[in-house]
Each structure stands twice: as C-alpha cells, then as structure tokens.
Chain A
C-alpha cells in the first residue's frame, strides 16, 4: 500500500495508560474530539464530534489491548469539511491504525492512515500549493511518502 501517511510520537507514560487514552471513548473525546457518542467495541460505529470540522462516524475494526487499535472513516476534517455521518464502510474510506510500543522513555504511538488512492476526487482534492520547494525537494518528499518501506 503506497497511499498512506505515517506519524509517530513518544509519550512519557506507560503503554496501558496511552492505550486507554486512545481506545476508550471517554478519553478519546478529551484529546482527539470534543466528545464521542457510542462505544469503541469492534464492529460498533460511534460518532465523534470534531467541533468546527463536523461530526464523523467511525467503524471500529480492531482493538487489541496495549498493542493495536484501528478504525475506518471517511477521512475527516481536511477533505470532508462538514463531517460524515453515513456508514463509513459503505463509502470509499481510509483505515486509521494506532500501534503502541514500549520504549525506554515510555510509549511510542505510531499512526498509519492508508487508503487515499481509493478516495474519489471529491474527497481527496487539494488545490493549494506549497511555495517552498522545487522539483528536487518535491521528489525527496514524495519518495518518503510512497517508497515501499
């Protein structure tokens, strides 16, 4: 899968604490969203409130204690500016995966969102340009994103 983004961060807290902050709706609603309606059990479809970005329905696809949490959604915020409350699984969607790993400083959380190539243009359009770079810079960035790891 080449159409993905990946971001990670190290948090100074035990894995169990960080996993709870992601996988429990009452906690998730305090840092990711303004609130969550529903549960994060696998197979459920809770709605998260992202304030100005709108409300989004998630489809929870996996929750493995202290290791892995994943959902699908019709990619939020930047490309569906008014939210999306339909069944995510019935539309072109992206998969969001959280990986949790114990490190000496605490916990590394890695987020991988993939599936952008499946999104129709209406969802995946961006018309503005970075003025920073030339072709070489753009190629370097591109390789970081799309080269098989």
Chain B
C-alpha cells in the first residue's frame, strides 16, 4: 500500500467530508452516509470505494447492506510522515534564523 495512493485518496473535498463523518467504533451504512452528503448515493459509493482501496475505511457486509468503518491507523501513517517532514523543516528554519540574526 503506497502513500501515493493514500494522498491521492485524501486529495478530494467530498472524500475528506465522508471520512470526517466516519468513526472506527460506530460503522455507518451507505444510506446513512449518503443522506446529508450533498452528492448522489452513486457518488458516495464511488468515493467510499476509493477510500476502501486506499485502506482508509473497512467495508463489512451485513445482510443487504455494507457497513463502513474508518481505519485511523492508515491515516496515522500518512500524518506521521508529514509531521516528521514538517518538524524537519521547522528545525531548518530555526537554524536559518539563528544563522542570519547572529551573523548579521
């Protein structure tokens, strides 16, 4: 599973919105997600599939419905990568500031 796929899946306003309405503990059905999503049920289905392919959500068949559950561990991997890179740049910029201000 590549982080490229992860970031690609996240790079969409509708999918971010769907993710923010999902939880790891309380799964929701497609119908529940579609109501209030502002996009068609078919659109929601398509976006959920992209999230599932990136392992950001887990799909659990239950009867005629599918339960959709968030998988925060996957998100953590991408976030931690960005945090590490951000921290690294913060350290670099602090070094630049010290260098310029002390040397004059």
Residues of A near any B CB (own CB < 8 A): 2-3, 5, 7-9, 11-13, 17-18, 21-22, 27, 30-32, 75, 77-79, 109, 111, 113, 116-121, 124-130, 134-135, 138-139, 141-143, 145-148
Contact = CB atoms under 8 A, between A and B. Distances in A.
Interface residues of B, number: 43
Interface of B: 1-4, 7-8, 10-11, 13, 16, 19-20, 23-24, 70, 72-73, 75-86, 88-90, 92-101, 104
Contacts of B24: 135
Contact of A111 (B79, B89, B100): B89
A119 B3 contact: yes
B89 A7 contact: yes
B100 A11 contact: yes
B81 A143 contact: no
Contact of A139 (B20, B73, B93): B20
A7 B11 contact: no
Contacts of A128: 80
Nearest to B77: A126
A85 to B, nearest CB: 20
A143 B99 CA distance: 33
Contacts of B4: 116-121, 124
Given A116-B81, A125-B3, A129-B80, A138 B96 contact: no
B96 A21 contact: yes
Contacts of B86: 5, 7
A78 B85 CA distance: 7
A146 B80 contact: no
Given A7-B89, A22-B96, A31-B99, A142 B80 contact: no
Task: Across the A-B interface, give the 4 residue pairs with the lowest CB-CB distance, nearest first.
Answer: A31-B99, A2-B11, A117-B7, A126-B81
